[in-house]
Amino acid sequence: DGGITQSPKYLFRKEGQNVTLSCEQNLNHDAMYWYRQDPGQGLRLIYYSQIVNDFQKGDIAEGYSVSREKKESFPLTVTSAQKNPTAFYLCASKGYWDRDTNTEAFFGQGTRLTVV
Amino acid sequence: EDQVTQSPEALRLQEGESSSLNCSYTVSGLRGLFWYRQDPGKGPEFLFTLYSAGEEKEKERLKATLTKKESFLHITAPKPEDSATYLCASSGNTGKLIFGQGTTLQVKP
């Protein structure tokens, strides 16, 4: 089945530790996105990538890093510089119907990161 | 700067009481206006895409409409199972997909 997979579902991080969240899609989508969601809040954009080997910062990129070496994969690293990383992280991918219209974005089921 | 604002933040309805959710957007070169439903602890589930002012989409008790500055999600005769957070997002020519803060809907029997 086509879809987008995030892993792990739950992740615990110790103070000062880097952790990497996985996001894989088999929808052949060009664009991929990472969002952070805090309780009772909307989705805030961390990083996005429209093509392999290229990515841009979103609104809250500080303390995070990404790579896009393959079309299917867009891993997110939460570094020790992110002072308040406890949150729900969502990955999405999106395609294009043509130059002026986008398809809807498909989401993974999320990773819940907790600092211990 | 692309921006999406949703109102109200929370909405409580009695079963059968119709209402509307608002999404105001500012985007350079609209490539799509999207509505999603999100249940607690899960990823957003796609509902509708709108591309141009005047466009409307319907699905069961939900109807989405679009103007040049706003989109509305109309809920007709809601049921308790419609309780969820509804998210609006815009995509423009920067490639960003920007979400609003969401409206949390509670429908009481």
* Average pLDDT over every residue of B49-61: 95
Contacts of B6 in chain A (CB under 8 A): 42
B68 and A CB contact within 8 Å? no
Q: So what's the pLDDT on residue B91?
A: 92
Q: What phi and psi, each to the nearest 5 degrees, are found at residue B82? A: -80, -5
Percentage of residues of chain B with pLDDT beyond 90: 91
Task: Band the pLDDT of A63: cuts 50, 70, 90.
Answer: very high
Is pLDDT at B68 greater than 80 in this prediction? Answer: yes
Residue pair B34/B13 in contact by the 8 Å Cβ criterion: no
Q: So what's the pLDDT on residue B35?
A: 98
Task: Band the pLDDT of B43: cuts 50, 70, 90.
Answer: very high
Task: Band the pLDDT of B105: cuts 50, 70, 90.
Answer: very high
Is pLDDT at B41 greater than 80 in this prediction? Answer: yes
- Dump pLDDT digits (tens) for A15-58: 889 999 999 999 999 999 999 999 888 999 999 999 999 999 99
Q: So what's the pLDDT on residue A41?
A: 85
Q: Do B87 and A110 touch (CB under 8 A)?
A: no
Q: How far is A9 from chain B (nearest CA, A)?
A: 10
In the beta sheet, which residues pair with residue A13? A115
Q: So what's the pLDDT on residue B37?
A: 97
Alpha-carbon separation of residue B93 from A77, A84, B26, B30, B62 (angstroms): 27, 31, 12, 7, 28
Label residues A67-82 b or e (16+ Cβ within 10 Å = b). Answer: ebeebbebbbebeeeb
* Average pLDDT over every residue of B65-84: 97
Residue with tokens 């409307």: B56
To the nearest 10°, report the CA torsion of B88, A2, A49, B69.
Answer: -20
Q: Do B41 and A106 touch (CB under 8 A)?
A: no
Question: Which secondary structure element, helix H or strand E, spans residue B46, and what is its range?
Answer: strand B45-50
Q: So what's the pLDDT on residue A1?
A: 61
Q: So what's the pLDDT on residue A101?
A: 75
Rg of chain B in Å (alpha carbons): 13
Closest to B109 in 3D by CA, of B64, B87, B86, B77: B77
More confident of the two residues A47 and B2: A47
DSSP-assigned letter for residue A73? B
Residues A107 and A96: their CA atoms lie apart, in Å, by: 16
Residues B22 and B35: their CA atoms lie apart, in Å, by: 11
